[in-house]
Amino acid sequence: MKSQRCLIAACLLLVMAVPAFADPMKALIVEGQNNHRVWPKTTKMMKQYLEQIKLFRVDVARTAAKGTDPDFQPDFAKYNVVISNYNGAAWPKKTQEDFVSYVKGGGGFVVVHAANNAFGNWPEYNEIIGLGGWGGRNEKSGPYVYFNDEGKLVRDETKGRGGSHGSQHDFSVVVRDRSHPITKGLPTEWMHVKDELYDRLRGPAANMHVLATAYASQDHRGTGRHEPMMMTISYGKGRIFHTPMGHGDYSQECVGFITVLQRGSEWAATGKVTVPVPDDFPTARTISKRAYKE
């Protein structure tokens, strides 16, 4: 009897000590409408990136191809983190309410690229994502947030559109807070593979923390300002990670993007990060890609 109890205790200890034995967390990617034609592929890519680290099992919830889909009613509460690859028509009222109470109650949410174009007129969504672009956004949506050359965050309340970008190119991402779990151990500066560098994003930007920026060079028709590229937002008890990166499948093959998506999703789900910085992470001078295979 005694040895049996010892065995049980030893097994319990082992299970607790080795998180790899634990069941993966549950993640949900929402998609179905997007002005980016690459979207079904980018959902598959992100699903693979999140599953290959063994931390998540990923479901996908897809809306109808057009208009508000009355049947789109994912059970958000079942998930540790929801990732949006959606930029389309409004969700049904009940789904909107479920989503807001999911985040408010402590759910994790991750916003990728054009998901921040969605729902320009949904106030809670805009509080959740901090900043967004297009979708009718302007000064009424909130300040344009950027970093000036002195490294200070500016909240620009002047009139103007929300969201624009110059021509696509490889660009440097500069980490502004190296102490956050998502950025800890990343190089201060790293080259991101060709992407749309979103600029002039606007929103309530409440309870938002900018982890990294990228300089939108005027040589590429950018703003000449340092634009937020990685942000965290808190909303109620919920944690949100937002990256405007990820326009093309090539952009999402960037090891920087992959790592940041994995770490940001883990942080949104748990408040901690265990995903290591991989050996093939880009450097300040060189991009690094992993060719995607289904």
| Residues of this chain that bind Zn ion (CB under 5 A) | 196, 247
Q: Supply the minimum distance, in Å, between the C-beta of residue 262 and Zn ion.
A: 21
Beta-carbon-side half-sphere exposure of residue 26 (alpha carbons within 13 Å): 10
With respect to Zn ion, which residue has the nearer C-beta, 38 or 90?
38
- CA distances (Å), origin 78, targets 51, 99, 107, 279: 17, 12, 10, 34
Q: Supply the minimum distance, in Å, between the C-beta of residue 291 and Zn ion.
A: 21
With respect to Zn ion, which residue has the nearer C-beta, 45 or 103?
45
Residues 143, 168: Cα–Cα separation, whole Å:
25
Specify the pairing of strand 226-235 against strand 238-243.
Answer: antiparallel
With respect to Zn ion, which residue has the nearer C-beta, 47 or 247?
247
Q: Supply the minimum distance, in Å, between the C-beta of residue 113 and Zn ion.
A: 6
With respect to Zn ion, which residue has the nearer C-beta, 134 or 235?
134
Q: Supply the minimum distance, in Å, between the C-beta of residue 38 and Zn ion.
A: 9
Distance in angstroms between the alpha carbons of the first and the last residue of the chain: 50
With respect to Zn ion, which residue has the nearer C-beta, 113 or 180?
113
With respect to Zn ion, which residue has the nearer C-beta, 73 or 167?
167
Taking Cα atoms as reference points, which of 152, 170, 287 lies closest to residue 219? 170
Q: Supply the minimum distance, in Å, between the C-beta of residue 196 and Zn ion.
A: 4
Q: Supply the minimum distance, in Å, between the C-beta of residue 244 and Zn ion.
A: 9
- CA distances (Å), origin 42, targets 10, 49, 165: 43, 10, 20
Which amino acid is present at 98?
Answer: D
Taking Cα atoms as reference points, which of 109, 143, 146, 144 lies closest to residue 129? 109
Give the position of tokens 């990820």.
246
